[in-house]
C-alpha cells in the first residue's frame, strides 16, 4: 500500500536550533516525493521536491531509498519557519499523479 508517515505531530525547537522533520514512505516503484508547507491560514505551498535537489529557505531533504525516508532538515531554525509541514508522494494513474500526504508535523520555533 502507498503510504506516507510523519511520526511527529508537533516539533518544538528554539530559534537557531537544528530541525529535522521525519518522513517515511511505502511505495511500490520509484516514488516522487515532496515537502509542502502550510503557514497559518494560507494555502499549501510546495517547499521541496526530491528530483530538483534544491535548497529552499535553508531547508534540504534527501531521498534515502534504503530507509524509505525523505526527512526535511534545516541547520538553524527561524521563527518564521513555524508552520505545518506535509510530506507527500505522487501516486500515478493514467495521465495524472495524485498526492498522498502524511499526517503533517507542526513546527513551532520559539524565540
Partner 1 sequence: AAGVIQSPRHLIKEKRETATLKCYPIPRHDTVYWYQQGPGQDPQFLISFYEKMQSDKGSIPDRFSAQQFSDYHSELNMSSLELGDSALYFCASSRQGSNEQYFGPGTRLTVT
Sign of the CA dihedral with 34 first, then 83, 66, and 50 last: positive
Interacting residues with partner 1 between 38 and 77 (CB under 8 A): 42-46, 49
Per-position DSSP letters for 5-59, written without gaps between them: E---SEEEEETTS-EEE--EEE-SS---EEEEEE-TTS--EEEEETTT---BTTB
Does residue 27 touch partner 1 according to CB under 8 A? no
Q: Which is nearer to partner 1, 82 or 101 (CB)?
A: 101
Does residue 99 touch partner 1 according to CB under 8 A? yes
* Near partner 1 by CB under 8 A: residue from 29, 40, 66, 94: 94
The residues binding partner 1 (CB under 8 A) are: 32, 34, 36, 42-46, 49, 86, 90, 93-104
Amino acid at each position: 500500500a502507498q503510504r506516507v508517515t510523519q511520526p511527529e505531530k508537533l516539533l518544538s525547537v528554539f530559534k537557531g536550533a537544528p530541525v529535522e522533520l521525519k518522513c517515511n514512505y511505502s511505495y511500490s516503484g520509484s516514488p516522487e516525493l515532496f515537502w509542502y508547507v502550510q503557514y497559518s491560514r494560507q494555502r499549501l505551498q510546495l517547499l521541496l521536491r526530491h528530483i530538483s535537489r534544491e535548497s529552499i529557505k535553508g531547508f534540504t531533504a534527501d531521498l534515502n531509498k534504503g530507509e524509505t525516508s525523505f526527512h526535511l532538515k534545516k541547520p538553524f531554525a527561524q521563527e518564521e519557519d513555524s508552520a505545518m509541514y506535509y510530506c507527500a508522494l505522487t501516486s500515478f494513474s493514467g495521465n495524472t499523479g495524485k498526492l498522498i500526504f502524511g499526517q503533517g508535523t507542526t513546527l513551532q520555533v520559539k524565540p
